[in-house]
């Protein structure tokens, strides 16, 4: 793998070394070893921080050496003539390696991506820590809405119209105090009809008697693990159709949670949820609906906000291992 690890979760998971610039990670399954190659500038830090035992400096292979030349030299030293790379591997680098006699094959699923489905105790501890921060932030957002007053159908805070931006700021301040942050575009406070648009960030005034979607997905700044939590609230009296939607979602959620256990497939859970919504007259993605329940039932979290397992029609199974 050749990548940075600030945004490449597989790279960070494999090495536990955080760097903004690309570096090289090689896994030799038959030999049971891993190799990390970083710039000389990052070398000492990598030795202290990474979980990889064998760490080399790119300077050992020449000053200003090109990435493809570096990789080719290392592979030749190890007697390797064929490698597997993730599907996002650079085409330019792959072609350059092939010209040097290396057989390069892109694979659909990276080993680390699959490994990340199963969380160990330390990882679960990180996610619990992030979840506690998320819950405090959600409580803050709901409290701001609850304590507001109503004037001309607008929510009012301290004499001013309460906005999505203001609630988001309160959430972000709380998360910061708990060592968390939301990535740009990942924090949602959306009110009214546009709140039904998945992943609409929300902006402008918040109204009474209308659904307010609050979607908070913070990441621990140091440990880098995500959680994800969404709530819908109304200040005032919701319309009949909103109450009916709420009851349908509550029914579907409780039924899904009751079904989930070891050995049950993600597909089964997703189909049950679709069954419930369809029985109540709502469109679903399963039947190619363009409104209604037009997304998956759920997803895993970890070093990425959305990661396997995914409770959706395309995922057929998931067995949790402890």
Domain ranges of the chain: 2-115, 118-238, 239-322
| Gap between the Cα atoms of 134 and 175, Å rounded | 7
pLDDT of residue 256: 95
For residue 35, the model assigns a pLDDT of 92
What class has domain 118-238?
alpha beta
Q: Is residue 307 within a helix (H) or strand (E), and if so which, with residue range?
A: strand 307-311
Count of residues in the chain: 322
pLDDT of residue 321: 35
State residue 20's pLDDT score.
93
In 3-state terms, the chain is what percent helix, strand and coil (to 5)?
40, 20, 40
Residue 225 has a pLDDT of: 96
Helix (H) or strand (E) holding 54: strand 54-57
Q: DSSP string covering 94-130, please?
A: HHHHHHTT-EEEEESS-HHHHHTTS--HHHHHHHHHH
DSSP string, 236-295: S---HHHHHHHHHHHHHHHHHHHH--TT--HHHHHHHHHHHHHHTT--BGGGT-SSSB-S
CATH number of 2-115: 3.40.350.10
What is the per-residue pLDDT across 146-162, written as a single tens digit (0 to 9) for each?
999 999 999 999 999 99
pTM for this model (two decimals): 0.86
Q: Computed from CA positions of residues 105, 109, 111, 113, in that sequence, does the dihedral angle turn out positive or negative?
A: positive
pLDDT of residue 320: 40
Fold (topology level) of 239-322:
Creatine Amidinohydrolase (3.90.230)
* Distance (Å, whole) CA 292 – CA 283: 5
Note whether 2-115 and 118-238 share their fold: no
**Which residue ranges in the chain fall short of pLDDT 70?**
314-322
pLDDT at 314: 54
Q: What is the pLDDT of residue 319?
A: 40
């Amino acid at each position: 793998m050749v990548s940075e690890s600030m945004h490449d979760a597989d790279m960070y998971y494999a090495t536990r070394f955080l760097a903004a610039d690309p570096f090289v990670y090689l896994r030799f399954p038959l030999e049971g070893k891993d190799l990390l190659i970083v710039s000389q500038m990052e070398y000492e830090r990598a030795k202290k921080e990474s979980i990889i035992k064998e760490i080399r400096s790119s300077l050992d292979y020449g000053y200003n050496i090109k990435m493809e030349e570096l990789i080719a030299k290392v592979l030749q030293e190890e007697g390797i003539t064929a490698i597997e790379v993730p599907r996002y591997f650079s085409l330019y680098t792959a072609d350059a390696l092939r010209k040097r006699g290396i057989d390069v094959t892109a694979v659909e699923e990276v080993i680390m991506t699959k490994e990340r489905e199963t969380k160990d105790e330390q990882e679960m501890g990180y996610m619990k820590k992030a979840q506690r921060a998320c819950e405090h932030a959600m409580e803050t957002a709901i409290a701001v809405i609850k304590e507001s007053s109503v004037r001309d159908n607008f929510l009012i805070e301290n004499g001013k119209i309460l906005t999505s931006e203001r609630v988001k700021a309160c959430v972000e301040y709380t998360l910061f105090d708990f060592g968390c942050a939301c990535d740009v575009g990942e924090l949602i406070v959306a009110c009214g009809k546009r709140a039904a648009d998945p992943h609409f960030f929300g902006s402008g005034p918040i109204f009474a008697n209308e659904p307010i979607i609050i979607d908070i997905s913070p990441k621990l700044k140091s440990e880098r693990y995500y959680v994800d939590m969404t709530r819908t609230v109304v200040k005032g009296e919701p319309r009949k159709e909103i109450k009916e939607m709420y009851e349908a979602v509550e029914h579907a959620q409780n039924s899904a949670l009751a079904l989930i256990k070891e050995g049950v497939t993600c597909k089964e859970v997703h189909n049950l949820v679709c069954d419930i919504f369809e029985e109540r007259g709502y469109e679903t993605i399963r039947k190619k609906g363009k409104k209604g329940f037009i997304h998956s039932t759920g997803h895993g979290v970890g070093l990425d906000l959305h990661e396997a397992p995914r409770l959706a029609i395309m995922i057929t199974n998931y067995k949790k291992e402890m």
